[in-house]
Amino acid sequence: MNAGIRNFLLILAAGLLSGALGCGFGALVATLSPEFAKECFFTEVENIVRYAAAVGMITGLFIGAGAMAFAMFVAAISSRSKSVEGEKENTEQ
């Protein structure tokens, strides 16, 4: 598999997993403390648990995709620096 496609799929999987975790966490917080969730969102909704789950899913998706993209960026920079160091060692010999 191409490295670009593999990295894209890893970022996608991380975003979806984080979205699912955010959804569950938002629903759990709204179930345990609906007053806290109502104060956090500054809106009146009919079903605060569903609203909190949706907001948690969206924020989890963005945070997970961003974190995975940053991790891929760090890995790419690290890999690039190792290859540059290897090239320097080969030219010095």
Per-residue model confidence as pLDDT tens digits over 36-50: 888 888 878 889 999
Point out the residues of the chain with pLDDT beneath 70: 84-93
| Structural tokens at position 14 | 């991380």
Q: What is the CA radius of gyration of the chain?
A: 21
Can you give the pTM of this predicted structure?
0.73
In the prediction, which pLDDT does 79 show? 80
The angle formed by the CA atoms of residues 54, 60 and 61, to the nearest 5 degrees, is: 90
| Nearest partner of 14 among 56, 72, 54, 74, judged by Cα | 72
| Structural tokens at position 47 | 């079903």
In the prediction, which pLDDT does 33 show? 92
